[in-house]
Amino acid sequence: MATVLVTHPASRLATYFGERALGQLREWAEVRLNTSEQDWQGADLVAAAQGCEVVIAYRQTPFDAAVFAALPQLWAVCRCAMDIRTIDVDAASHHGILVTRASAGFGTAVTEWVMGVMIDAVRHISAARMQYQAGHEAQAWMGRELRGATLGVVGYGHIGRQVCALAQAFGMQVLVHDPHVQAVNAGVSLVTWEKLLSASDHVVCLAPATAETENLFNAKAFAQMKPGAWFINAARGNLVDEVALRHALDHGPLAGAALDVGRGPDQTPSLDLARHPKVIATPHIGGLTPAATEHQALETVAQTRALLQGQIPTGAVNAEHARRWRVAVQA
């Protein structure tokens, strides 16, 4: 029976992996767990993974060349998330180790978070709640409706398409910018970057985090946005120049921002921005629902099972380099 290490810190196991996935894994593998509260890395990770054929990796567990070199029995690292930027895939390939990633199971959850913060923003729900809870009579602010407002979505992927569909159901005009997309659904307009920024009442960032999108939302971008617009980031903190965002909040044109991600720990919003009076911030919980997290956990378990049954799983990113696994399977 193969040995599989699950690296999720103890307090994150139930939330980000779950008993159902753990139970399935234990049916056909010897399972080791992280009983500490540490996000293992370096020497600690190497010590914990000794003798393991497969590691199911929490989203923050980093794998670099030194770690791979120190784990001669490791066949595969199955990331229990889509984001594999903290895994050195080239180093894994060099050592003949397979890397897999989970598919997105959090589209509905993130979409609903986006719509929720848009409503909160224009109807001042959080602001009124905080005034009441502070023991004051809440101010009756004039709100705005989503119906008739213009939504600009940057990134027309799985989540972007869902956001557009819900926004249309609310009666919003929907604009999209994505340089990798040639066609969009009926009622959605594919526009230039400049047009989206200048015409949108709400700009939602859903672009992937790549070298090309680093600081995509910079001082120039914020300056082009419509006065009174809201900026919403449900993608990654790397896409935003935080100094520029702070300036746009303090000096215009933005009315506010809603952030579920940032440059804080584990992609959470930076505290300096999260406490800004014009910001609605949540600690990277857009995709944190039971259905969303269980999807990725169960998929990662299915990937592990496929490996143990001699199959390259869906989600493999360097299958041609899985030499250790092939030797083990053929043996």
**Helical (H) or strand (E) element with 153:** strand 150-154
Does residue 96 have a pLDDT over 90?
A: yes
Give Cβ neighbours of residue 277 (< 8 Å, ≥ 6 apart).
none
Give Cβ neighbours of residue 140 (< 8 Å, ≥ 6 apart).
none
Beta strand pairing call for 279-281 and 76-79: unpaired
Does residue 330 have a pLDDT over 80?
A: no
Tell me the sheet residues that pair with 240. Answer: 217
DSSP string, 213-270: TTT-B-HHHHHTSPTT-EEEE-S-GGGB-HHHHHHHHHHSS-SEEEES--SSGGGPPP
Report CA-CA distances (Å) from 246 to 134, 217, 252: 26, 12, 9
pLDDT confidence band for 69 (50 / 70 / 90): very high
pLDDT in tens, 175-204: 999 999 999 999 999 999 999 999 999 999
Average pLDDT over residues 69-78: 97
Does residue 171 have a pLDDT over 70?
A: yes
In angstroms, the CA 147 to CA 254 distance is 20
| Per-residue pLDDT at 331 | 67
| Per-residue pLDDT at 104 | 84
Give percent of the chain above pLDDT 90: 93
What are the structural domains of the chain?
3-105+289-330 (3.40.50.720), 107-281 (3.40.50.720)
Q: Residue 52 burial (CB < 10 Å; 0-12/13-18/19+)?
A: buried
Q: Write down the residue that tokens 């869902």 correspond to.
A: 162
